Structure 1
Amino acid sequence: MTAGVVALVVTVATGAGVGLLLRDQSGTATPQPGVTISHSLAPETVVVTDAEIDDLLTRHTEGLTRGDTERFLSIFDPANEQLLQRQRRVLENLRKVPLSEAGYRVLRRSGRSEDSFGRGVTFTQDVSFVHRFAGIDLRPVSEWYRWTLEKKSADAPLRVTAVGGAPPPTLSSSSPSKTVYYPGPWDIWPDITVVRAGAGVVLARPEHAALARRVAPIVEQATAHHSAYWKRHGEHQDLVPQGYLVALVAGKDQLGKLFRTSEATEAGVSIGMPSAAVGSDDVVVGGTRVVLDTTSSFFSSTDGIGTLTRHELAHSLVSALDRSSGLSFLGGRPHWIDEGFAEYLANKHAPVTSSLRYPEGRAYLAGQRSRPFTGELPHNDIWAGGDLTDAHYFMGELIMRFTADRYGDRRLVQAVTAAYQQDNDDLAEPAFYDALGVDKAAFERQWAAYVRQQLT
């Protein structure tokens, strides 16, 4: 057993399957029972039983937890050298990362898994890779695989012939990923460099190892900064992570194809992963995965890396507070709450004039952008429109700076927490104002005056 896998807990779910909440994928997985098997089968019948599926999961999990390559690979088609090579790499990568829990659970099954005429059967089985990073994930989380299974005859062994990412039950505009937290770096990187960052880790391809070592202390400092801030001003201390997983990629294509499969436009992202813990638990988000694009302009300087890192870790900091069901008729929780608080924690250590987006804020106030500053809080429908994106991010930061200046950081955190803990996103903004004891009209008017004061 390598140093990266300590006290690894075996997690194998068998039988009918396990349902997992997929808030970020806007759907809930429905466990699909195994096929019903007739008790009077003809001798030539080809049938796949639940016990055979369970055996695959058990051998695969034991191979992972023991570091037993032969057992890990025993479920795959032995004639498919390319598949075996890829899965050998997956095991080698997983053995390098600090997992405290790992295993596989049955999810949905599709296709024909029984044939009474003696013909072979091929079907797909979705499998959840349940895992937990030590010191990082509050609860175990899961990545979904889609296995293609084949049984060529009644007495032939069941084999996995292909592995890919499983799609979510439904797609949504707010979370359009075509796969469920797949692929992880272990699935697609030829090798993984693991650099400790306090209680967290930075993962990178070998060619980015030096950059990972440069980023790690920045991640550690940002983690310490956010933890200290929350200890002073926040509640629900048990829901704040002690460390974070940060992965480095190069370019938007890679950014959109790590822990998700979607188009990416950001410089960085914090991906919240639902808890896969079994039993009653009110923690919805079990952990986050932060992915940073090393080709973005933020990586042109140490200060830029720090700003981007603090911003994304701020999203991760409050992720476990989120109780949203995704229900909304008015456009969802305001971006100025989510992005504004992240920008505030990224920049609060410095004067507002040092913000990278300060010039955009001044240009916006001066009427030099496609829309004039009206004193209204920025709406979601125009948040990222045209040339206003940077200006709106800066306005979000000023909303939080104003709130902290007028009401104090403790009240600010109470307001943000109240917004995050609304099941209906349309109630988030009213909850923010209620926590401050102010109505929207007064808050907006006072904030607009604050903006003009800061930027003129």
Structure 2
Amino acid sequence: MDVTTDGERATRGRRMRLWIAGAVVLAIAAAAATWAVAGRGDPPSPSVATPTQTSAGPSVEERILAGAGAILKTRASAVLSGHLAQYLQYVDPANRKLRQRDQQVFANLRKLGLSRLSYQVDANWAPEVQAQHGPSARAVRVLMLVQIAGIDSTPRATALGYTFAERDGHWLLVDDDDLAAETDLKAYREPWDLGAIEVARRPGVLVIVPAGERRNGERLARESQSAIPMVRSVTRRAQAGIAVIAMADSRSMDPEWRTGGHPAAAVAAQNYAPANPEASEFKVTGSRVVINPDQRTQAGRLLLAHEFTHAAMGPLGGRAPIWLVEGFARYVEYRLAAQSGYQRELADERRELLREKIPALVVLPIDGVFHGDYDEDSYGVSWIIVEYLVTTYGQAAVNSLYADLARGPDAPAVREQVLRKHLKVSETALVAALKKYDGPA
């Protein structure tokens, strides 16, 4: 039965392509690699080494690393066991606002149903002096590793900036936003940092919404479950589970998550896990889907299917051409749309694209100017290409093509070689064949 919301049905109509014109995948390489600091939720990058011990005894930096490590271990244990007093035990009693924030973060983390949580001071980052909190105060970069039961296959890494200071012979957490590298704190935050949350669960799905929006969270959980079977059927891949973030606060979306010059409607934001004990390299282990706050009450199964496809394919690698990345996701989305009663709208869009856009193809849409040649129709053109490939060569062949291209490198000669390997055709011949395509039989 079609349970697509009236709002989504009205929005899509003949111009249903506009839903995903605002969608984007963070297509980053999935193999172990070193990542630069790009935001509070991204893994840290190496910086200046921590000072070594001197003949006069341990330096302040060395003592703070030891003290911070003990505090962080206590806090992780407190969250998992549900002991708030233990979590706040080493938080500066004079910093009332920090204690209030921490109390809310604790409550939020408890709602997620964590199976694992740990913190470690990033030894690749030099502690920074924070004299406003006293002569011993240092800000350090902390790696938070959080795993949601039934959702994450491995702990996901997110970076924090914590300031610790020695007071009366004891180390305390005195602030959480002093680190110089955390100048982007107001640009992007984890959902548990953005006030009280509510959580909606279904098998394999967890939706995080602001307090008071449980009804929308339950709706998104149902829509997610409606999207997952099609994603699994086409991609032949699936995460252990998927987290969907639909917060009202604009800081839940990184302002750099844009497509075609405007904010994305949603993103499949990749999850990272340390690839070595030093946490100097990270690997992609899956994704979470973050919905633009402006779209959180309208987003439905079709948008979710698009982003879940990105999440499923992301760990393969980030070198596939964007026409395949976006075309494949739209293909899955439109397969679900057809199943949900949009056959006429799809036929209209296909007919328009085949008449007005495909004849203009000279080469497959180029990554750097994906939006430039066809504007919003870049997604539609890419959908037609993928639909043609599946119709002509079969789903398994297209999936193998995607996996090979995703591994890279993304050099034109290599892509041409991969096309010939899987499809026995050159790009020139493929473009010529596309111009003769009149839709699936």
TM-score, length of structure 2 as denominator length? 0.77
For 1:160, the equivalent position in structure 2 comes to 173
Shift of 1:113: 8.7
Q: How does 1:19-418 map to 2 (within 5 A)?
A: 21-22=34-35, 29-30=45-46, 34-40=50-56, 49=63, 50-107=65-122, 108-112=125-129, 120-151=135-166, 155-164=168-177, 178=184, 183-188=189-194, 190-231=195-236, 240-250=238-248, 254=250, 257-258=251-252, 260=254, 262=256, 264=258, 265-276=263-274, 278=276, 284-293=283-292, 295-296=294-295, 300=298, 305-322=300-317, 324=318, 333-349=320-336, 354=343, 373-385=360-372, 388-418=374-404
Query: How far did residue 247 of structure 1 move?
Result: 1.2
Distance apart, 1:148 and its partner CA: 2.1
The one-letter amino acid paired with 1:163 is D
Residue 349 of structure 1 deviates from its aligned partner by: 4.2
1:74 Cα deviation after fit: 2.3
Secondary structure, counterpart of 2:422 in structure 1? helix
Q: Is the 8 A contact 1:21 1:275 kept in 2?
A: no
Aligned residue for 1:212, secondary structure, equals helix
* CA shift for structure 1 position 40: 2.3
SS at match of 1:442: helix
Number of residue pairs aligned between Structure 1 and Structure 2: 393
Partners of 2:200 and 2:208 within 8 A in 1: yes
- Give the superposition deviation at 1:262: 3.6
Q: Deviations over 1:72-119 (max 9, x none)?
A: 1223221010010001100100001022111101112332499xxxx7
Deviation at 1:316, TM superposition (A): 0.6
Letter in 1 for 2:99: L
Indicate the percent of aligned positions where both proteins have the same amino acid.
Answer: 21
1:310-339 per-residue CA deviation (whole Å, 9 max, x = no partner) reads 0000001112212x4xxxxxxx64211111
**Larger helix proportion of the pair:** 2
SS at 1:398's partner residue? helix
- Paired residue type of 2:292: D
CA distance in 1, matches of 2:169, 2:282: 43
CA distance in 2, matches of 1:414, 1:165: 47
Quote the Cα distance in structure 1 between the aligned partners of 2:210 and 2:372: 34
Distance 1:187-1:349 versus aligned 2 partners, 3 A rule: closer
* Cα RMSD for the two superposed structures: 3.8
Deviation at 1:288, TM superposition (A): 1.0
Partners of 1:266 and 1:202 lie apart in 2 by 19
| Counterparts of 2:95 and 2:43, CA distance in 1 | 34
Cα 1:98–1:165 change in 2 (3 A) is farther
Counterpart of 1:157, as a letter, is H
Tell me the equivalent position of 1:441: 428
CA distance in 1, matches of 2:432, 2:94: 70
For 1:192 and 1:249, locate their aligned partners in 2 and report how far apart those are by CA, in whole Å.
8
| Higher alpha-carbon deviation: 29-38 or 341-350 | 29-38
Alignment check: 8 A CA contact 1:167 1:180 kept: no
Q: Which runs of 4+ in 1 moved over 6 A?
A: 165-169, 355-358
> Cα–Cα, structure 1 residues 374 and 224, in superposed 2: closer, same or farther, change >3 Å?
closer
Paired with 1:403 and 1:167, the residues of 2 have a C-alpha distance of 49
Q: d(CA) in 1 for partners of 2:67 and 2:348?
A: 63
For 2:332, the aligned partner's letter is: L
Q: What one-letter code is carried by the residue in structure 2 that aligns with 1:98?
A: G
Change (3 A) 1:27 1:57: closer
Structure 1 419/180 Cα, relative in aligned 2: closer, same or farther at 3 Å? farther
Which residue pairs with 1:9 in the alignment?
A: none
Deviations 1:176-208 (Å, cap 9, x if unpaired)? Answer: x956996211111x2221111321211111232
CA displacement at 1:64 relative to structure 2: 1.7
Contact 1:288 1:316 in 2 (8 A): yes
Quick check: 1:150–1:161 contact (8 Å CA) kept in 2?
yes
